[in-house]
Structure formats: structure tokens, C-alpha cells
Structure 1
Amino acid sequence: MKLYYAETLAPRKTCAVAKYLGLPIEYTFVDLTKGEHRKPDYLAINPNGKVPCLVDGGRSIWEADAIISHFATRAKSDLWPTDDRQIDVLRWFSWNNHHFYPHAGMLYFESIIKPVFGLGGPDPLKVAEEQGMFRKSASVLEQHLKGRKWLLGDGLSVADFSVAIALPYAKTAAMPLDEFPEMQRWHDQLNEIEAWRNPFPVRSATSAANAALNA
């Protein structure tokens, strides 16, 4: 399996799950600052021009949530449940992509991505707006986590890796995570996992710009 990645949010979850499961992955770094995701050879495997992308044999799989589910299935791991909790995983994937991640991701963009790509500093009005939307979605997640160790109950799943992916950057990206003690407790548990804390493979040379993306 060959995983094309960059050191940004969506690829982070795929690298974390691959490392957690100990999968034999060939990693290929895609330098976004050089536009490598828009080159014809990459567009041939992912016409969306996005990262991550997984090539497994003759199959090309786009989208991080699909990739982490594929990893768990291939590894026969209980990160992908075999019972009716599969619907809960899909529910949290959908909820995250439509409600929580857009706002956490925009705070990440304002504080971390914009400076790297020379787009200026954070827009205070945009940050305030996104913080408000973050709080709205986080309140739903906060209530759900009460009395639960993980999103699906007692067992860690791909849903946890997916929904929490922006939280390692909460302090740097001005996400008001400290207002939500259940979410903080949940993320503290994830931080006990080495693959969550340090998901990316070591590269021989890391530019200052790309290192900043993982700050």
C-alpha cells in the first residue's frame, strides 16, 4: 500500500491510523507548497488534487475517512466495528464533515496555513466567527461524551481518529477546547497514544514551511 500524504489535517488521521495498526505502508510525501498535488502524475491517481490518497494494488482510494476505514478493515481491527455500530461510525463521519470539522479546520487555516502560504495573518473577525461555530458544534460533542470513554462507548474506533483530528492544534489555532472538559478529557486519552501524538513518518529533509504545518 502506498499512501500519498502531506503534514496537514486530513492526511494526519490516515498516518495516525496506519501507525497505530502497524501497517506496512510506503509513504510518499506530497509537497503542497510546490504544487505537487496539482501535477499530472498525481491527478492521475486522485483527480481531486487533494491529499491523502491511498493506492492499494490497482485500487486508488480518495478521502481520509474512507482510507482509515479501509486500513482498519484490512487489519481486521476493531477500530472498524463489525456490528450495528458501523452506522454510528458513518454518523460521526458525516456529522464531523458537515458541522465540526469545517469550523475547526478554518481556525487551523487562519492561524497555521495562511502564514505558511504567505496569505497573511489570521483575520480577527473570521476567527471570532469560526470560534462561535466551533462552540456550537462542540457543545453537541461535549454532551455526547458524558458517560462515554470514546465516541462509540468503551472502544476506540476510527470515528475518534476522524472527529478529533484538529484538536492537536487547538492552542495554536485559537480553538476554545478548554471550555469543554469532556472533549479535553477525550483528547487527553488520544494523546496517550504514540501514533496520535507523532503520526507522520520521519522524512530526511523537512522544510521550515512544512514543519510549521505540524506545529
Structure 2
Amino acid sequence: MTTQQAIRLYSFPLSGHVHRVKLLLSMLALPHEVIDVNIPGGEHKQPDFIKLNPRGQIPVIVDGDVTLYDSTAILVYLAKRYGGEQWLPSDPLGAAHVQQFLSLAAGEIFEGPNRVRLVKLLKRDLDYSLALEKTLSVLGLLEQHLAGRDFLAAGHATIADLACYAYVAHVPEGGVDLAPYPNVRGWIARVEQLPRFVPMVASPHAIAA
């Protein structure tokens, strides 16, 4: 199934939340237009953008007469409308397995790998020690879970993998070494080998572990 017109994606290049949507759009071969929002300049808090998302956050998509925000909600929408069973299983257990990792992406990955990166790259005033503790915890969890598994929620890639990928793969930009996590690194490599994978921009100011 294809769209009648290009989906508009409101973006910021360094956002892992945006990148997970870019990945699915690319992997589904959906025509789309990327519109970068000047986050440092506060464009996301201006009235025109607030009309798209009253929370003043990216990403946002506009698909015909549908306007949708929140990266997880967008992944579910795109998978259900255009992606089929591969990306979001409809059976109860398969859907629940995916949801476990969507929750992880919104919880521990947001509070850990995302925040250590925000501190190092964007100099956000956040508790780095707490974010680092949560990062090491979630990396340990993923390392154990991925023992003997290729992907997070099924025997193939789902939106669970896309939701979790960016902040984990780019956690060295937050000063965390992935060398102790071979299963995680193997999973990252498998995601990056998926057809039509598109990389997230690495910050030129990244601080590698």
C-alpha cells in the first residue's frame, strides 16, 4: 500500500525519537518529506508548530488529513496502516512483546542512554550520574535478553527494534563504552543491515567513551 502524497515529517537531525520514525518510513518505502525544526531556536514552541503538536515536541507527521505526534504513536500508526504483521504483530502475545520494548524505549532508554547523550552533546542540566546508572542497567538488561536472539521482540525486526535502536547505538556520544556488550553490538549491527536502513547523524561534537 502506498500513500497518495508524501508524508511530512517534522524533524531534528540529532533526535533519536525522530530517527525511529525515519527508519520505519524508509523501510516501508513510504514517500516522505523531512522538515527540520529549529529546536535550539525554539521553533517547536511557536504558535504554528503548537497547532501541529500542543506538547511542542518532535516528531510530528502529517499524512493527508492525519496529524500525529509522539514517536511511539507514529510507529504504531505507520505499522498498522502500511506495514503489516512484520512490524507489529496482531496476535496478543506478539503485540505484547513489542509493547514491552516500546515501553522500555519510553522509559529506561529515554531516562538513561538518551539523557547521558543530552548531557554530553547538548550540555543539558541533567543528573549525569543517575542517567549513567540507568544506562548501565538497561544495557545489562538488553545484553542478557539478546543472548541467543537476533532481535528484541520476534525472530525478525519489529518496531520494537526501531524504537530502541538510536539512543542505544549512539550511547558512546554520551560517554558510555559498548565494548562490554557484545550481544547489544551484534543487535545494533543487524538493525543497521536491514534493507533501506538510514543512519542517524552523528554529532561532530560527540564525546566517545
Map 1:4-153 onto structure 2 (within 5 A): 4-7=10-13, 8-77=15-84, 78-84=86-92, 85-114=94-123, 126-153=127-154
Larger CA deviation: 189-198 vs 94-103: 189-198
Unaligned runs of 5+ in 2: 1-6
Flag the structure with more relative contact order, 1 or 2, with Cα contacts below 8 A and sequence separation at least 6.
Answer: 1
Q: 1:195 offset after TM fit, Å?
A: 4.4
CA distance in 2, matches of 1:20, 1:199: 14
Identity %, equivalent residues: 21
Indicate whether 1:177 and 2:185 are aligned.
no
User: Residues 141 and 168 of structure 1: is their aligned pair in 2 closer, same or farther, counting only changes over 3 Å?
Assistant: closer
- Paired residue secondary structure (2:67): strand
How does the TM-score come out when normalised to structure 2? 0.84
- Paired residue secondary structure (1:165): helix
- The answer as to whether partners of 2:101 and 2:153 remain within 8 angstroms in 1 is no
Q: Which amino acid aligns with 2:169?
A: P
- Paired residue secondary structure (1:34): coil
CA distance in 1, matches of 2:45, 2:206: 22
Q: 1:176 offset after TM fit, Å?
A: 3.2
- Paired residue secondary structure (1:2): strand
Moved over 3 A (4+): 126-129, 193-197, 210-215
Q: 1:167 offset after TM fit, Å?
A: 2.5
- The answer as to whether partners of 1:10 and 1:51 remain within 8 angstroms in 2 is yes
Q: Which amino acid aligns with 1:192?
A: Q
Q: Quick check: which one's helix share is greater?
A: 1
How does the TM-score come out when normalised to structure 1? 0.82
CA distance in 2, matches of 1:213, 1:21: 31
Unaligned runs of 5+ in 1: 201-209
- The answer as to whether partners of 2:28 and 2:83 remain within 8 angstroms in 1 is no
- The answer as to whether partners of 2:19 and 2:166 remain within 8 angstroms in 1 is yes
The count of residues paired between Structure 1 and Structure 2 equals: 198
- The answer as to whether partners of 1:15 and 1:199 remain within 8 angstroms in 2 is no
User: Residues 27 and 197 of structure 1: is their aligned pair in 2 closer, same or farther, counting only changes over 3 Å?
Assistant: closer
